[in-house]
């Protein structure tokens, strides 16, 4: 049977949980840094290349600071993500602001920070102008080609935007031309193009295929509007293999595929100065985080259940998407997977299951389980249903030491937004 190897050993984990009780989100600093460097190497042929990490995937300041040290910027979609980016030292062109159905105050803050604003709809042009009093000289527009996008594999049951025609994001092709003309007439001088067509593609062909679509449109928009297009943002979509049998995307092959498209389309059009951007959340962090949890109950009724001290409030992807996350029982990596379990949390919802009918080694009470690939869209999607409290985030540093990068919530945090004066004295 195919297996995934955790980045933490049983011995390390047992020492970590002595200081930080389970459940915890654990991150691998070494893996994060090495992955960022592979990405930059793959696109080193493009002198303006920059990765804008999708803050929504892992909105943790210490993680953002590590990525900043590796040359990354931030991709923000809300007021508070902009605030976090500013607090972490990002400013100006280091920030992309891509939002939809955007409140005026978000645009105001993005403009104050000098962020590059990416407009989701043509009606946002007058809305933005009214909100901030002008149109920025540097501006971007988000494109949606419509139809159905089919290429390679996406995680089964988890297709966020593989049908662009049904997605709420972006402008039509005709609107892109109209938007560029309008923005240029209002003073914009530097233009960008952005698009996101598919989520978590397990294919080296996705980025090159998207690049060809955007590169060709860039040439057309330049001809139609005379706009100076200085960057093209390929956004996210490069996936990770949640299942052990799935292939791993090769970022070097992906970068070379984009380079070939760049040289075939943009260079002949005299657009060889266009910078390329990415906004990779899952690819950058997913495999370099895990949810560490302990088995605390075993229940045998119509099925065999293992209850752990984490729940969907800590990692909700399996509950809401039916998404697969691999599980390793630490210390039993080489034991036969001859027991069938549902691995569950304690929420009052039957979907609170990290695994269903999963073949695993025999699990004993007290065993530590690693739930893999929770580094992106793990902690960030947490919530407080049933009064559950968000778990701590811990960084496994390159030298093997650990750092608490977000403490666990307490009941005081849960009640902090309420006026509970005297409540517990009644």
Spell out the domain ranges in the chain: 29-286, 287-415
Tell me the pLDDT of the chain averaged across its residues.
Answer: 93
Decide if 13 contacts 382 (C-beta within 8 A): no
User: Of 47, 99, 49, 51, which is closest to residue 236 (Cα–Cα)?
Assistant: 51
| pLDDT value of residue 187 | 97
pLDDT at res. 212: 95
- CB atoms inside a 10 Å sphere around CB 275: 16
CATH number of 29-286: 3.20.20.10
Sign of CA dihedral 391, 397, 401, 403: negative
Phi, psi of 339 (to 5 degrees): -125, 135
Q: Over 50: is that where the pLDDT of 201 sits? A: yes
Neighbour count for residue 127 (Cβ, 10 Å) = 15
- Burial zone of 327 (CB within 10 Å; 0-12 exposed, 13-18 middle, 19+ buried): buried
User: pLDDT for 290-317, tens place per residue?
Assistant: 999 999 999 999 999 999 999 999 999 9
Task: Give the integer Cα–Cα distance in Å for 26 and 394.
Answer: 5
pLDDT band at 159 (very low <50, low <70, confident <90, very high): very low
> Catalytic: 140?
no
Q: What is the per-residue pLDDT across 350-404, written as a single tens digit (0 to 9) for each? A: 999 999 999 999 999 999 999 999 999 999 999 999 999 999 999 999 999 999 9
Quickly state the pLDDT bin for 167 (edges 50, 70, 90): low
Whole-model pTM above 0.75?
yes
Tens digits of residue pLDDT in 220-264 = 999 999 999 999 999 998 999 999 999 999 999 999 999 999 999
From 72, 337, 348, 351, active-site residue: 348
State what percent of residues in the chain have pLDDT above 70.
93
Q: What is the pLDDT of residue 157?
A: 34
At the fourth CATH level, which superfamily is domain 287-415?
Answer: Lyase, Ornithine Decarboxylase; Chain A, domain 1 (2.40.37.10)
**Looking at the predicted structure, is the pLDDT value of residue 57 above 90?**
yes
- The residues pairing with 202 across neighbouring beta strands, listed in sequence order, are 153
Q: What is the pLDDT of residues 120-141, one digit of tens each?
A: 999 999 999 999 999 999 999 9
Q: What is the pLDDT of residue 414?
A: 94
| Confidence category of residue 420, pLDDT binned at 50, 70, 90 | confident
Q: What is the mean pLDDT of residues 31-54?
A: 98
Rg (CA), the chain: 23
């Amino acid at each position: 049977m195919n297996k995934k190897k955790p980045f933490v050993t049983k011995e390390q984990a047992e020492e970590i949980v002595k200081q930080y009780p389970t459940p915890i989100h654990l991150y691998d600093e070494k893996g994060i840094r090495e992955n960022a460097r592979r990405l930059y190497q793959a696109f080193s042929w493009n002198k303006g290349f920059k990765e804008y990490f999708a803050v929504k995937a892992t909105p943790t300041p210490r993680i953002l600071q590590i990525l900043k040290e590796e040359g990354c910027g931030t991709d923000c979609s809300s007021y508070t993500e902009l605030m976090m980016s500013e607090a972490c030292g990002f400013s100006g062109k280091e920030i992309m602001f891509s939002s939809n159905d955007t409140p005026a105050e978000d645009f105001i803050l993005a403009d104050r920070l000098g962020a590059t604003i990416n407009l989701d709809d043509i009606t946002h042009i007058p809305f933005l102008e009214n909100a901030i009093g002008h149109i920025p000289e540097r501006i971007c527009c988000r494109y949606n080609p419509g139809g159905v996008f089919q290429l390679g594999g996406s995680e089964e049951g988890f297709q966020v935007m593989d049908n662009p025609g049904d997605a709420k994001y972006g402008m039509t092709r005709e609107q892109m031309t109209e938007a560029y003309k309008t923005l240029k007439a209002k003073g914009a001088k530097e233009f960008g193009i952005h698009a996101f067509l598919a989520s978590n593609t397990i294919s080296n062909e996705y980025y090159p295929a998207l690049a060809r679509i955007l590169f060709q449109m860039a040439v057309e928009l330049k001809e139609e509007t005379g706009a100076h297009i200085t960057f093209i943002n390929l956004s996210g979509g490069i996936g990770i293999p949640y299942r052990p049998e799935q292939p791993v995307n090769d970022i070097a092959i992906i970068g070379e595929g984009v380079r070939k498209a760049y040289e075939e389309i943009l260079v002949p059009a005299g657009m060889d100065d266009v910078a390329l951007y990415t906004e990779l959340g899952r690819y950058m962090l997913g495999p370099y985080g895990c949810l560490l949890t302990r088995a605390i109950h075993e229940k045998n009724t119509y099925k065999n259940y293992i209850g752990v001290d984490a729940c969907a409030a800590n990692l909700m992807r399996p509950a809401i998407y039916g998404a697969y996350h691999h599980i390793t029982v630490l210390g039993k990596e080489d034991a036969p997977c001859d027991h069938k379990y549902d691995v569950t949390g304690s929420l009052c919802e039957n979907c609170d299951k990290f695994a269903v009918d999963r073949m695993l080694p025999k699990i004993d009470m007290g065993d530590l389980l690693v739930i893999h690939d929770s580094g992106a869209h793990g902690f960030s999607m947490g919530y407080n249903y049933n009064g559950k409290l968000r778990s701590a985030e811990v960084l496994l540093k390159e030298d093997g030491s650990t750092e608490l990068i977000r403490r666990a919530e307490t009941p005081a945090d849960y009640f902090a937004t309420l006026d509970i004066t005297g409540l517990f004295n009644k």
